């Protein structure tokens, strides 16, 4: 079922990229990419990374409906209060945000519109977390497929008839559609949950919330923020068209990374969660590097050698510059997949210090090197920075797990 959802997202993603490239060009690709990063950053900030905490706590009280309802009310209250406050900030600074994202204040009303619907988007995150805690994976996949279909059709119509404004609206409308589809199912299946304001939470849950929210929050905020900053570097040093080419490269990368990332979350991560000794983890590492890494290597080799065909299929000739950048992107993605073998272990075992160091180092190296290399290497310097940042992350992983890897009988 998950493979069907991934395939649906892949196909619709290809078609959506084609529509954006045909009707909006490289500049439209860059601006919509910027707004998507802003949307992800806003949702992550407004949830404070608490969605993983919801899953953990809900699982622990799965059999107690009264307690579940109280827990839901507490997180519902927290999410609503934070999202409303954050929405107010977005409205107040809408002109400044528009100038930073779109280099014009003409899109400030779209920032305000996004702010109005942000609480609904945040509640969707809560609904999805509850569904995950009850392991309703088939239903989650059905919701994703149904939402993808509606979002795809809506996006195409908006972009075709309204242009760039339609593309921006499609990001907002996609979130609204996801809210309604998720809510309709949630209301039907979880009728024992009552909506209300409640801020009572047991102290025992606070440690879970603190550890999980920190890790999720840092990653979810740093990544989109880094991408927004780098995109602005490109626009100011070169042009918005060059930024669009870079965004298109990231979209192509996201297509195949989505398959592997989803598969690892569903199958590899649960295995690590059940592992208790370093010897068992070492065996899983061997299996990972013998099967998944070679498979990924085959995929990126195919992507690289058929890059011209892929660009023509998913984009237009205006994006032909993607071909020259692809080598650094696929090498960086390979290092990322190699690092994830250790990264999921850090996540599962909540190794907070290691997690923060890796996330901060990766994003800091990526942004600073992009800023340094861009003036002399053009956009290729940005993709080289991505490769080097992933190389630094991988070296850090080897350092953190050096005893496991290099000390005999460990």
Q: What is the pLDDT of residues 184-200, one digit of tens each?
A: 877 776 655 655 555 55
Percent of the chain with pLDDT over 70: 85
Phi, psi of 93 (to 5 degrees): -105, 20
pLDDT-based confidence at 328, cuts 50/70/90?
very high
Name the pLDDT band for 234 (thresholds 50, 70, 90): very high
Is the pLDDT assigned to residue 361 strictly greater than 90?
yes
Residue 70 in this model has a pLDDT that exceeds 80: no
Q: Is 1 a residue whose pLDDT tops 70? A: no
CA–CA distance, 282 with 399 (Å, rounded to integer): 15
Residue 363: per-residue pLDDT: 95
pLDDT value of position 205: 57
> Any idea which of 275-284, 352-361, 368-377 has the lowest mean pLDDT?
275-284
Comparison of pLDDT for 64 and 320, the residue scoring more: 320
For residue 373, pLDDT over 80 is answered with: yes
When the pLDDT of each residue in the chain is averaged and rounded to a whole number, the result is 85
Q: Between vectors from CA 206 to CA 203 and to CA 212, what angle results, nearest 5°?
A: 160
> Is 337 a residue whose pLDDT tops 90?
yes
Reported as a pLDDT band with limits 50, 70 and 90, residue 150 is: confident
Minimum mean pLDDT range among 51-55, 363-367, 391-395: 51-55
Q: Say what the pTM is.
A: 0.87
Question: CA 157 → CA 26, 31, 161, 320, distances in Å?
Answer: 19, 18, 6, 26
Query: Which backbone phi and psi does 163 adopt, to 5 degrees?
Result: 80, -140
What whole-number distance in Å separates Cα of residue 127 and Cα of residue 120?
10
């Amino acid at each position: 079922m998950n493979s069907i959802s991934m395939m649906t997202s892949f196909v619709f993603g290809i078609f959506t990229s084609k529509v954006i490239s045909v009707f909006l060009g490289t500049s439209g690709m860059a601006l919509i990419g910027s707004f998507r990063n802003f949307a992800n950053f806003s949702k992550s900030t407004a949830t404070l990374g608490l969605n993983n905490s919801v899953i953990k706590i809900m699982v622990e009280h799965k059999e107690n409906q009264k307690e579940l309802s109280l827990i839901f009310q507490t997180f519902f209250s927290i999410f609503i209060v934070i999202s409303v406050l954050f929405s107010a900030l977005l409205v107040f600074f809408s002109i400044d945000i528009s100038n930073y994202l779109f280099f014009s204040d003409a899109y400030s009303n779209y920032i305000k519109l996004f702010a109005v619907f942000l609480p609904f988007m945040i509640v969707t995150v809560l609904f999805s977390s509850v569904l995950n805690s009850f392991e309703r994976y088939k239903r989650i996949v059905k919701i994703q497929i149904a939402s993808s279909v509606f979002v795809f059709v809506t996006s195409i119509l908006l972009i075709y008839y309204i242009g760039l404004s339609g593309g921006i609206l499609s990001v907002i409308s996609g979130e609204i559609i996801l809210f309604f589809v998720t809510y309709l199912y949630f209301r039907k299946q979880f009728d024992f949950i009552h909506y209300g304001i409640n801020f009572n939470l047991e102290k025992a849950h606070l440690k879970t919330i603190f550890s999980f929210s920190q890790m999720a929050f840092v990653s979810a905020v740093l990544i989109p923020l880094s991408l927004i900053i780098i995109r602005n570097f490109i626009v100011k040093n070169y042009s918005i068209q060059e930024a669009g080419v870079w965004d298109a490269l990231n979209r192509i990368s996201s297509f195949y990374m989505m398959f592997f990332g989803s598969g690892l979350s569903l199958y590899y991560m649960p295995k690590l969660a059940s592992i208790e000794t370093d010897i068992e983890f070492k065996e899983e590492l061997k299996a990972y590097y013998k099967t998944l890494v070679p498979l990924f290597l085959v995929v990126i080799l195919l992507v690289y050698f058929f890059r011209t065909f892929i660009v023509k299929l998913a984009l237009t000739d205006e994006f032909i510059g993607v071909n020259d950048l692809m080598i650094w992107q696929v090498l960086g993605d390979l290092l990322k997949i190699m690092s994830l073998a250790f990264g999921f272990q850090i996540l599962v075992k909540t190794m907070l210090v290691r997690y923060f160091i890796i996330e901060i180092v990766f994003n800091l190296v990526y942004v600073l090197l992009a800023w340094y290399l861009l003036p002399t290497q053009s956009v290729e310097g940005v993709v080289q920075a991505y490769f080097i940042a992933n190389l630094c992350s991988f070296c850090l992983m080897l350092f953190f797990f050096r005893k496991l890897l290099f000390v005999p009988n460990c």
